[in-house]
Structure 1
């Protein structure tokens, strides 16, 4: 948005010429150059590092600190290593004799999906004797790389209510009796089973926009079939 004086467009003077993906319309004579306003990922990377890591680096070098520092870096790399190239064609009648390219950050959803995949495959580690290294737990497990997420303690049991952890449990939780994924009753109800219940709820319906600028709705009673965990 141009509101931070120290954060502008990405510096492109010292960068190698771009190599955007080839397309059927691109020919051998097309020239490429960096231009536009690329996202300054290096500035964001350094600022995030100062903000997230500084306090932990000054503290004790315990296993939780080491894990937090590692996972912070994995989060930054999920953005930095997956920048996408966008280009714009120039030339008479769309001939694309010159193409200007710049770097943009990956979409937020793409970053989230990538981190969720890393979370589901996170590696369990333990602290080394020197207090500075992390060792993978288990046999024939490769050491996690910089993009992997790691943990040291197993998650508490969220099936039952637990005031200490803040878990409300899954008793009475709404679930999907036909789904086989994480929303399914078998998993959410922790194999305790579930019951079918018919409820009547009030919902907004027949909504209309009135100029200007109000949306008016009527109230309708709707009957729904719910699956609730025992």
Structure 2
């Protein structure tokens, strides 16, 4: 059920507003971003501008969706729903408004932000460059961002080139949110909120990196710049938000949402939300997109989500022992070669019934 390294699923962005843009390779759903842009006669505003004027940006957006999809599959690899991109499952899941959909939207928005920002820093886009803001520009943002770490003591100055997160943030929003801006139904409100939470997970966890200068590396003066965290850190943070996501309902004015329970704390901009309960994903169900867990590998000694009891939904599991060839008795020969023997190693495999 893992995603193959293909051109990737921008279907995550446009399941509802744009149809007919899907194509398949094997059982996987993929989308060429150029297919979306061929429909620019239907599109308006910033999204249409990106399609017509910024083809190199589209390539980075495609990379960002791929980064997000891979991270989603890593974070959910041991769960009943493992962020599979199998066609019939993906479409059904994304047409609902569950926690899982919220995470997919957030991690995709984060991936696009991340990829575009990195492309700016690397000089791969003519539309942008790395961030050359001065310390005054940083201090202005510092008041709004409680997650920016304190600078260590000593003399320092801004220099070099930081990650241009503002450009990546803006282009992710322009491309992913533009088709939904004029709609105010609960599903759209939730989607836009989760998209923004994904982008904020990148921006608000940026850190300061410094390079030391001075005699013999004494670090009497440092040059500092802002850098994005690893995408794994972003995925971990959004996974925590997934676990604590709040269920919301439409507000009376029809243009906003409120939490379903009056005692539940209203979600912040950084929290994930949803409006539909998730299924248990235990049994294959075409209507809901569940592939079930039959045949999935599980850990018989774990009490966690990857354990056979939870992953197999109490149906039990089958065990078999296989033999694998592994390198063993490795030795280093001067210079510079490592030689190993090939040994057979027994391995226990448990699969859900």
Whether the TM-score (by the shorter chain) exceeds 0.5 is yes
Question: 1:98, CA displacement in angstroms?
Answer: 1.4
Structure 2 match to 1:107: 230
- Distance in 2 (alpha carbons) for counterparts of 1:20 and 1:150: 31
Q: Whose Rg is larger?
A: 1
SS in 1 for 2:170: helix
- Whether 1:193 aligns to 2:316 is yes
Structure 2 match to 1:72: 195
Which is further off, 145-154 or 12-21? 12-21
Residue in structure 2 matching 1:177, options 287, 300, 318: 300
Question: 1:12, CA displacement in angstroms?
Answer: 1.5
Question: 1:160, CA displacement in angstroms?
Answer: 1.0
Residue in structure 2 matching 1:53, options 174, 177, 180: 177
- The gaps in structure 1 that reach 5 residues or longer are 209-216
- Distance in 2 (alpha carbons) for counterparts of 1:171 and 1:16: 52
- The gaps in structure 2 that reach 5 residues or longer are 1-121, 143-148, 331-339
Structure 2 match to 1:8: 129
- Alpha-carbon RMSD across the aligned residues, in angstroms, is 2.5
Runs of at least 4 residues off by over 3 Å: 16-21, 203-208, 217-224
Q: When the two structures are superposed, what TM-score results if normalisation uses the length of structure 2?
A: 0.55
Q: When the two structures are superposed, what TM-score results if normalisation uses the length of structure 1?
A: 0.82
Say which structure is richer in strand.
Answer: 1
- Report the number of matched residues: 213
- Distance in 2 (alpha carbons) for counterparts of 1:132 and 1:82: 30
Question: 1:147, CA displacement in angstroms?
Answer: 0.1
- Distance in 2 (alpha carbons) for counterparts of 1:89 and 1:225: 51
Question: 1:220, CA displacement in angstroms?
Answer: 7.6
Structure 1 match to 2:266: 143
- Distance in 2 (alpha carbons) for counterparts of 1:20 and 1:92: 25
Which is further off, 219-228 or 114-123? 219-228
- Distance in 2 (alpha carbons) for counterparts of 1:157 and 1:223: 33
Deviations 1:168-218 (A, max 9, x none): 2123332111101110011111122334x22446x454599xxxxxxxx99
Deviations 1:4-33 (A, max 9, x none): 1221121323425698543xxx5xxx4211
Say which structure is richer in helix.
Answer: 2
- Distance in 2 (alpha carbons) for counterparts of 1:220 and 1:162: 43
- Distance in 1 (alpha carbons) for counterparts of 2:341 and 2:218: 55
Contact 1:198 1:223 (C-alpha < 8 Å) held by counterparts: no
- Whether 1:157 aligns to 2:275 is no
